Amino acid sequence: MDGTEVSKLVSHLFRHESGKMTSVLARLLGMQHLHLAQDIIQDTLLQAMNSWPYSGIPENPQAWLYHVARNKAIDALRRNKKFREIRSRYAMLLQSEWTLSPTVHQLFMDNEIEDSQLRMMFACCHPSIPTESQVALVLKTLCGLSISEIAHAFLTTDETIAKRIYRAKEKIRTECIELEVPEGDALKDRLDAVLKSLYLLFNEGYNASNPAHFIRENLCSEAMRLCALLCSHPLTGLPRTHALMALCCFQSSRLSSRLDENGQIILLKYQDRSTWDKELISNGFAHLELAAEPFEVSAYHLEAAIASRHAAAASFGQTDWLSIFNLYEHLFRLQPNPVVAMNRAIASAYAIGIGYAIGELHRITGLEGHYLYHASLGELYIELSEFEKAHGYFEKAYELASSEPEKQLLSARMALCKMKSPAERGIHVKHL
């Protein structure tokens, strides 16, 4: 395997494994030494990139990384005597050569890795850290997102996100924040921040900011894996946690149907519903049932309920659009933001009428730089056969779109608007 292929593999492993290794090492060293944990991981990945092109890819690359990271952690503890600064419950065990190595190895067991990740999620969401910095830190430390990806999720700049993460780490260092799962009232607020992080992570995978990739299934899978950890824990398996898991299951069920074999987008109305993952849909409904007891209604409940209506419909035309519109009405009252208003307006096109939906979209402010807003208006004007207006909105959407599949879709839409005859426009193209 050449250096390029090794680099791709290491990048893939970093995305999937760095959060796990960071959690374990931070649990061992203390969150105030998060930088040391990250240095160990970087050294481990660098060693892989330098040695694998010559020695070959190990039979189990993940196990190789964990083995090397464990040994580097042990070496760092011996060399730097960092255990003298550690205030965790492992301090005494790390002071003896008899217990140092077994303690580190024990923390790399599967069940301990899961527990460490759970603790890391809540440490990143400590109340001393501002909410937006909490979410950014989870996405960076636990999920391996880049600064640019996080900035896209927050609709802000790379510089802003970098500053938030730096300040969060400073808080951890100066206030000696430890890895722990809070209890009682403290759990609720910190769980909300954790769930928001996973929600943003899933969305980044579902509609990726990366120009070359419209969908990043690995990010969706990582969000669902971490959410499953929360669902299975007695303290965090609350209704809204199950609601978020249900939403992720419903949305993931149609990931493979959203692009054709050429990587072009297939809109919802043209997707082959027989290819939707029935097991994921079934899991979604199971989690939605668990989300109903004890009774509470969160934004995740409402979004999951909306997604369930799509999953249950035999076709686009048979979708319960009135129910979806009403659910968006409830969601807007809970979260009165322009994106929810846009989705409510789109649903109203099928529940009430095209003219009503266009009027609602034109009343929304704050989405002038959002390509989906302009694309939605273009779609509705096509329904009214106002092709010149539709073309103008698709043209604006094209200017704002970031990924190649989005641009291809919008180019096809603009071409449709320029066709001369109704017969030409009537040609069914599933991507439009």
Determine the Cα–Cα distance for residues 7 and 11; give it in Å rounded to an integer.
6
pLDDT for res 87: 45
CA 336 remoteness from chain centre: 22
Backbone angle region of 81, left / alpha / beta, with phi > 0 → left and psi within -120 to 50 → alpha = left
pLDDT for res 195: 93
Residue with tokens 């209506």: 309
**Selection from 158, 201, 245, 164 nearest residue 15 by Cα:** 201
**Selection from 230, 236, 246, 229 nearest residue 291 by Cα:** 246
Give bridge partners of residue 265 from the DSSP assignment: 259
Contacts 24+ apart (CB under 8 A), 306-311: 306/331, 307/246, 307/247, 307/250, 307/251, 308/246, 308/250, 308/284, 310/250, 310/268, 311/250, 311/253, 311/276, 311/281, 311/284, 311/285
DSSP-H helix ranges across 56-130: 61-80, 97-107, 110-124
Per-residue pLDDT of the chain (432 residues; tens, 9 = 90+): 566 788 888 887 887 788 888 888 887 777 777 888 888 888 998 899 888 988 888 888 888 888 888 788 777 777 665 545 554 555 544 454 445 455 555 555 555 677 788 888 888 888 888 877 888 888 888 887 788 888 877 778 899 999 999 998 888 888 888 777 777 777 877 888 889 889 988 988 888 766 666 788 878 888 898 899 899 988 889 999 999 999 999 999 999 999 888 888 898 999 999 999 999 999 999 999 999 977 789 999 999 999 999 999 999 999 999 999 999 999 999 999 999 999 999 999 999 999 999 999 999 999 999 999 999 999 999 999 999 999 999 999 999 998 888 999 999 999 999 885 555 554 444 433
Please give the model's pTM, rounded to 2 decimal places. Answer: 0.80
**Selection from 416, 415, 420, 371 nearest residue 393 by Cα:** 371
**Selection from 139, 190, 128 nearest residue 161 by Cα:** 139
Alpha-carbon Rg of the chain, whole angstroms? 24
How many other C-beta atoms can be found within 10 angstroms of the C-beta atom of residue 24? 27
Tokens of 126: 């400590």
CA 226 remoteness from chain centre: 10
Residues written for the chain? 432
Determine the Cα–Cα distance for residues 232 and 148; give it in Å rounded to an integer.
31
**Selection from 71, 67, 56, 72 nearest residue 9 by Cα:** 56
pLDDT for res 55: 86
**Amino acid symbol at 185:** D
